[in-house]
Amino acid sequence: MITNRILLTTPTFPYPSLPANDSLTDATGQRFTHGDDIFSLVSHTHCYANHILAQNINIPTTLLEYPRWNNFVEEVDKKYGIIGISAFPVHLDTVMKMCTHIRENSPETKILLGSYGAQAFAAQYDKETQKKYVDHVVLGEGVRFLRELLGEDTDRPIQQKVMPKCGGAPAFINKYPKGGLGFLVTGLGCPGGCDFCATTEMYKKKRIELLSPDDFVNHVELYRKHFKNLSSIFVIEEDHFRHPRWLTKTKERWEKNVDLVKNVDWTGFGSVDFIWHYAENYGWDAIPETGIGAVFIGVESKFAGEHGYRKVREADAREVFHKLHSMGIRTLGAWICGWDYHNHANMYEDLNYFVACKPTYQQLTRLSPFPGTELWRKLKDQGRVCDVPWEDVHFWSGSQKNISLETHETLNLTEYGYDLIYKTWGPSILRKLEVTLNGYEFCMDSDNPLMREHRSELYKGSCATTWGMLGAMDRFAPNGVVRRRVIKADERFRDLIGEPTPMMEMLSKNIEERAVKFKMAHMFNPYNRRPREEPAKRYLYNKDSSIKDDDIPYITEYPNKIPKKIQKIMNRNNLKYRILAKLLSYKFKLKSSKHINDLDPVILRSLAGQSYGGF
């Protein structure tokens, strides 16, 4: 029995696909840029819950991410004293199979189950059934639980050092983008108490702070120390704007570091009313000064406020989105279909209210009663929860019996909504460019010298790299309305920033050619015909003295050979980008020094990154 190391793992592959045949691990393809034709971003992410656990216990840890069954069996055979599984409800069939295997082959191992899979498991099964599979169903914050179980000090601060980066890009640019987006969790839980929300239930309507403003900025600085090209961090918290003091302190700390102001922004979370209140109390300008560059906002529904959801009762979502966009802040808007009040008379009105917000990225889902939530208990009492397999319990679950709509209608409406947004506003990449141009203009007009002299640089660079996509967007626009938006964005770029450099022009042509080739190659064999699969990874948190305080605290291994076909595409992409960067650099910088300007180095850096960067 291994007692000086523990194993943490995600469920084993294969993963179920989502109803629109998307991958569970591709957050941009399945939702944020879903429906954008070839401009949808394909992306990968990591299991951060396990990384946070592994970083915050003293005992060495092996962490399996997306293991295949044989990788998992190999580790179980080592006979760990503790194996922890972090899972979502959608994985529970696999999780129970994994637990059965551990029980049969390493009966003394204690099994822990955490995350929202644990919440659903505890709600669905009686105690006896739970014990058959799992020794500890971990609900709430897991670090404290694990430290207690291991007999460690529970009060030391939580760290999240240089966690693996996620990455995304349109498939015609790079099907296997490198990680380019950092990830941190500043807080868990929300006092909001919305009945459908698994988070508010999980943390008993409380917020647990994981990173103070100082710790947060220190962690971002550490990322920058290791990855000079990193320009964006995804920061999990249910609603940063409910905690104005945290935001204000972050702003003070952020503004002290010009490198951050100039080179990095972060994606936070907010809600319509709390953003509005924050702006009323601190001024709209204070929002971008916190370093925030994008906000996830759960609009949920035009009518949510009048049906008891406090976060959207006072302000008009359209105004809040518009105001944020005018300052260069991108939005990830979320809308839900299938409320009890939804019927054929109001569902399109509701959807069009959301479309009018013009979110930069979007998440349209169905109201899904996750086991363990208040909504689930209520619908169960009313006999309105259908018996669906675990693989269908997710944001697009059809497990709810609607009052006025057929089950299939809610799924169709979300798919229609994605299409409507694409055909109305164009792809998210275009919307990002439009908002980023606003940001540049806003900064140049700002009285705050930090915004004018430094944050403006961040916007300018981002505009220049995204501008290169306009040729492809013009060619493949879904209609004339969107094509005209593309042309207008180009005109605005030239007005505000100036004529694109010859390097940008050449790269843009290259991107357009790639798009054409990609379209032709996938005409009869769509690139997203099969959901994307992630490789298995093994992270070793060895915790030995060779790892210094600011080092990356883990070693990454690939336990399986990457399939030859994928390896070939990845190698070819690496080579192509390297050659392209060299060619551009030689042609426009070394040979014709007259073309040197401040945008070309940004373009070359983005080529080196081989990833879309961030939201």
User: Rule CB under 6 A: which residues touch ligand SF4?
Assistant: 190, 192-194, 197, 199-200, 238-239, 271, 298, 311
Side chain identity, residue 376: W
Alpha helices by DSSP H, listed for 333-445, are: 347-356, 374-381, 407-425, 428-444
CA distance 99 to 417: 39
Are residues 189 and 204 in contact, defined by beta-carbon separation less than 8 angstroms? yes
CA distance 490 to 62: 49
The minimum distance between CB 205 and ligand SF4, in angstroms, equals: 8
The minimum distance between CB 198 and ligand SF4, in angstroms, equals: 8
Task: Considering the complex, state which of residue 37 and residue 316 has its C-beta at the smaller distance from ligand SF4.
Answer: 316
The minimum distance between CB 188 and ligand SF4, in angstroms, equals: 10
Task: Considering the complex, state which of residue 314 and residue 550 has its C-beta at the smaller distance from ligand SF4.
Answer: 314
Task: Considering the complex, state which of residue 26 and residue 273 has its C-beta at the smaller distance from ligand SF4.
Answer: 273
Task: Considering the complex, state which of residue 65 and residue 238 has its C-beta at the smaller distance from ligand SF4.
Answer: 238
CA 395 to each of CA 30, 152, 307, 363, 414: distance values in angstroms, whole numbers, following the listed order: 11, 36, 21, 10, 11
- What tokens appear for 238 in the block? 């249910």
Q: Which has the closest alpha carbon to 169: 483, 466, 426?
A: 466
Task: Considering the complex, state which of residue 66 and residue 396 has its C-beta at the smaller distance from ligand SF4.
Answer: 396
Are residues 370 and 198 in contact, defined by beta-carbon separation less than 8 angstroms? yes
Task: Considering the complex, state which of residue 200 and residue 399 has its C-beta at the smaller distance from ligand SF4.
Answer: 200
The minimum distance between CB 397 and ligand SF4, in angstroms, equals: 16
Task: Considering the complex, state which of residue 317 and residue 489 has its C-beta at the smaller distance from ligand SF4.
Answer: 317
Side chain identity, residue 615: F
Q: Name the residue number minimizing CB distance to ligand SF4.
A: 192
The minimum distance between CB 301 and ligand SF4, in angstroms, equals: 12
- What tokens appear for 6 in the block? 């523990």
CA distance 347 to 350: 5
Side chain identity, residue 122: A
The minimum distance between CB 201 and ligand SF4, in angstroms, equals: 9
Task: Considering the complex, state which of residue 80 and residue 241 has its C-beta at the smaller distance from ligand SF4.
Answer: 241
The minimum distance between CB 274 and ligand SF4, in angstroms, equals: 8
The minimum distance between CB 242 and ligand SF4, in angstroms, equals: 8
Are residues 45 and 113 in contact, defined by beta-carbon separation less than 8 angstroms? no
Task: Considering the complex, state which of residue 23 and residue 368 has its C-beta at the smaller distance from ligand SF4.
Answer: 368
173: left (phi over 0), alpha (psi -120 to 50) or beta: alpha
The minimum distance between CB 311 and ligand SF4, in angstroms, equals: 5
CA distance 194 to 209: 20
Backbone φ and ψ of 336, nearest 5° = -125, 140
The minimum distance between CB 191 and ligand SF4, in angstroms, equals: 7
Q: Which has the closest alpha carbon to 337: 372, 300, 308?
A: 300
H/E stretch holding 27: helix 27-27
CA distance 296 to 613: 17
CA distance 498 to 263: 21
H/E stretch holding 6: strand 6-9
Task: Considering the complex, state which of residue 310 and residue 543 has its C-beta at the smaller distance from ligand SF4.
Answer: 310
Task: Considering the complex, state which of residue 66 and residue 370 has its C-beta at the smaller distance from ligand SF4.
Answer: 370
The minimum distance between CB 300 and ligand SF4, in angstroms, equals: 7
Dihedral of CA atoms 71, 77, 78, 82 in degrees, nearest 10, equals 90
**Per-position DSSP letters for 132-174, written without gaps between them:** HH-SEE--S-HHHHHHHHHT--S-SPP--TTPPPBEEEETTT-
Measured over all CA atoms, what is the biggest interatomic distance in the chain, rounded to whole angstroms?
Answer: 76
Task: Considering the complex, state which of residue 14 and residue 193 has its C-beta at the smaller distance from ligand SF4.
Answer: 193
The minimum distance between CB 372 and ligand SF4, in angstroms, equals: 13
Q: Which has the closest alpha carbon to 8: 566, 610, 554?
A: 554
Q: Which has the closest alpha carbon to 553: 82, 60, 181, 187?
A: 60
